[in-house]
Structure 1
Amino acid sequence: MYGTKSKIDLAFEYQSQVAVLRPSIHSRRANLTVKFQDLYGFTVEGNVDDVNVLNEVREKVRQQGRVWWALEASKGANWYLQTTIGQGSALTSSLKFSAMANAITLKKLIRKGIPPVLRPKIWFSLSGAAKKKSTVPDSYYDDLTKAVEGKVTPATRQIDHDLPRTFPGHPWLDTPEGHAALRRVLVAYSFRDSDVGYCQGLNYVAALLLLVMKTEEDAFWMLAVLLENVLVNDCYTNNLSGCHVEQRVFKDLLSKKCPRIATHLEALEFDVSLVTTEWFLCLFSKSLPSETALRVWDVIFYEGAKVIFNVALAIFKVPVV
């Protein structure tokens, strides 16, 4: 059967085929796909090594959380609100070292990530949503939702069309209960600000706010402060004028900070706005894993819209492997 081949020759021949017949443990791990749900109910898929990296990141987040809890214990539950250091001409005289130290500490902690259990409270306070809510009667949201119930506008028709397409497959958002909650938040805001009404992309933003804030009313006020105070004006109006301005600014920024990448994309005749428009309108909620997107939102709610440009630049700088 084997002709004149000796047993030794056959042994060497079989040995050379071991790598093919029995892939290495590293290649088997790379091909082993694991699926699980993250903290916010989204399905995450990756190989074993990806999961190990994610677990390492989560452990760092837990360590960061212990720092937050230690500060809560030593400085008080609302220590992060004690960051006002004076305004105007009285700045020098009213400058307090403790307030400035708190502000610096807070900025560093937020950039490293807010613990998920503290996120709703800290977002609501630092973003200005709590202050905005305090300017109206306590029943404002309930009265608004009741007043607009059953009314049909172009905005409500588009909202109804987009609800089933908002994070399909999510265990809560893609249910009648989730659709109803998201619809109430979006419809209520469309009547609060008729200039914005509803724009595609807001459904993803509002959905993620619902998952974090837990209540419709808090999600509504977070959406309000985001559109009215944090982001650039006119980003979500009918002509998206603010978003178009952002795209032109980002193209110039990309050319300045990443000239080689910008030149390469121009040679390919590729318009970056085809990708970045979704990033800016959805605030990375569709393009990044939820836990990563929310780390970005942590910083946006404290430092403002400039963070979107920095994150977009960082994504273009990520080396392709």
Structure 2
Amino acid sequence: MADYRNFASENPERLAKAIERGIPKSLRGMMWQLMSASHDPELEVTYQQLLKESSPQEKAIQRDLGRTFPRHEYFMDGQGVGQENLFNVLKAYSLYDTEVGYCQGLCFVVAILLLNMPDEEAFCLLVRLMKSYDLRGHFLPEMPGLQLRLYQFDRLVEELLPVLHVHFLRQGVKSSMYCSQWFLTMFSYYFPLEVVFRIYDNVLASGIEAIFAFSIMLLQKNEEALLTLKFDEILAFMKTRMFEQYVDRDAKLETLNALNDDAASMSGRSLSNDGTIGVTYLVDQFVQEALSLKITPFMLDVYAHEHEDFVRTRDAHMAETDELRNSVRQLTAKVKTLEDTIAQKDEEHCEMVKELVMNRIGYEELERELVRYKLLYAEAVHENADREATTSQRYSSLSLR
């Protein structure tokens, strides 16, 4: 640790084996900072300045504080230093990286850091994890990094556990239903803290891709049980029973006997994520089995390129779909305009027809009136002719006399 960079460059295999065996608890926080090169005095000053500001994410952060390891002694007191430091780091980061702000799950990542180092160092390591380890992509809007990890994870399951892959497909179980939480919280939501610390050891030493080995090993270890379960049972199993295969049965029996006798020393027992003394886990075995999996960078690169092609095709399809929707929307608007025009023309046509009919009716009435006047005129002419004839006869009679 006194000359970490030189030692790491000259003894990489020796260092990797030492990390695989587990970093001593008393040195873990310092080693994490050395492995990640997160120590940054200027960033610590920035952190102190950010603490003086207010964040629009404060209410969301406050809601999640009490849900983060609520029974762990460091975090259980709502007014204690644990929740205060957790709030400070999360608030400062929401101001430092406004595009990410605050996202659920981030509180568990920060809590693990705070259990191993002071808050200003935890902030610096969080920034390092987000930027250099690409954890930021898990918390950005639309979570592009998480989508990539889930795709790579699905391809690894298909490649390494084909029978389980088919079973999940038949049961409708998607990796996003259980694995999203593993990756977002770096396994800290359900898993024992001693296990989580060892996962962090390897992630900080090897990169974020180390999470795949631990994820696949958990499925492989529980494959036989998972193949017998249905959809709801699988999801419930994922939440509570995934680490049962690594429970140290002998140590558990000893612990129970010690508790019953109320006399045994409990030093060296693993802590569960609620902070209570719980069962002992075969953590070394889990780490060794996970790291023994043949997951190569080449495989992950191939899957990453596949995902890029998939995203490119999907985005092109979505763009084409949006273009078609816009065209349909425009054509629909034109059709609506034409329909309105036709309706207006129809209304005008009806008015014209109505006016024509009324004119015809008026014309027919005029014709009938003209016929009546013609008849009256004819009668008047006849009467006048008769009157003239009568008058002529009278004149003729008088002349003869």
Q: TM-score range by the shorter chain?
A: 0.5 to 0.7
Match runs of 1:120-131 below 5 Å: 120-130=29-39
Equivalent AA in structure 2 for residue 168 of structure 1: P
Equivalent AA in structure 2 for residue 284 of structure 1: F
Do 2:109 and 2:185's aligned partners in 1 also have CA atoms closer than 8 Å? yes
Unmatched runs of 5 consecutive residues or more in structure 2: 226-244, 246-401
Partner of 1:81: 5
Number of aligned residue pairs:
222
In the alignment, structure 1 residue 104 sits paired with structure 2 residue 28: no
Equivalent AA in structure 1 for residue 112 of structure 2: L
Provide TM-score, normalisation by structure 1. Answer: 0.66
Equivalent AA in structure 1 for residue 110 of structure 2: A
Unmatched runs of 5 consecutive residues or more in structure 1: 1-76, 86-98
Match runs of 1:23-172 below 5 Å: 77-83=1-7, 85=9, 99=10, 102-130=11-39, 133-134=40-41, 136=42, 139-146=45-52, 148=53, 151-153=54-56, 155-172=57-74
Tell me by how many angstroms 1:225 deviates: 0.7
Do 1:80 and 1:106's aligned partners in 2 also have CA atoms closer than 8 Å? no
Partner of 2:122: 219
Do 2:109 and 2:188's aligned partners in 1 also have CA atoms closer than 8 Å? yes
**Partner Cα distance (1:311, 1:138) in 2:** 32
Do 2:113 and 2:122's aligned partners in 1 also have CA atoms closer than 8 Å? yes
Do 1:206 and 1:223's aligned partners in 2 also have CA atoms closer than 8 Å? yes
Do 1:199 and 1:238's aligned partners in 2 also have CA atoms closer than 8 Å? no
Q: 1:302 aligns with which of 175, 197, 205?
A: 205
Tell me by how many angstroms 1:289 deviates: 0.4
Shift of the 137–289 alpha-carbon distance from structure 1 to 2, 3 Å rule, reads closer
Q: Deviations over 1:109-145 (max 9, x none)?
A: 1111101111111111111201xx14x2652221221
SS in 2 for 1:139: helix
Partner of 2:107: 203
Equivalent AA in structure 2 for residue 115 of structure 1: P
Equivalent AA in structure 2 for residue 285 of structure 1: S
Shift of the 297–84 alpha-carbon distance from structure 1 to 2, 3 Å rule, reads closer
Shift of the 278–138 alpha-carbon distance from structure 1 to 2, 3 Å rule, reads closer
**Partner Cα distance (1:273, 1:312) in 2:** 13
**Partner Cα distance (1:316, 1:210) in 2:** 29
Tell me by how many angstroms 1:236 deviates: 0.6
Larger Rg: 2
Match runs of 1:249-268 below 5 Å: 249-268=152-171
Tell me by how many angstroms 1:305 deviates: 0.9
SS in 2 for 1:107: helix
Q: Deviations over 1:37-87 (max 9, x none)?
A: xxxxxxxxxxxxxxxxxxxxxxxxxxxxxxxxxxxxxxxx424321465xx
SS in 1 for 2:132: helix
Tell me by how many angstroms 1:180 deviates: 1.4
**Partner Cα distance (2:164, 2:111) in 1:** 33
Equivalent AA in structure 2 for residue 126 of structure 1: M
Shift of the 314–106 alpha-carbon distance from structure 1 to 2, 3 Å rule, reads same
**Partner Cα distance (1:264, 1:137) in 2:** 48
Tell me by how many angstroms 1:230 deviates: 1.1
Equivalent AA in structure 2 for residue 286 of structure 1: Y
SS in 2 for 1:172: coil
**Partner Cα distance (1:218, 1:84) in 2:** 22
Shift of the 138–230 alpha-carbon distance from structure 1 to 2, 3 Å rule, reads closer
Provide TM-score, normalisation by structure 2. Answer: 0.53
Percentage of matched positions with identical amino acids: 30
Partner of 2:214: 311
Q: Deviations over 1:191-224 (max 9, x none)?
A: 11111111100101111110111x1101111111
Do 1:185 and 1:219's aligned partners in 2 also have CA atoms closer than 8 Å? yes
Tell me by how many angstroms 1:272 deviates: 2.0
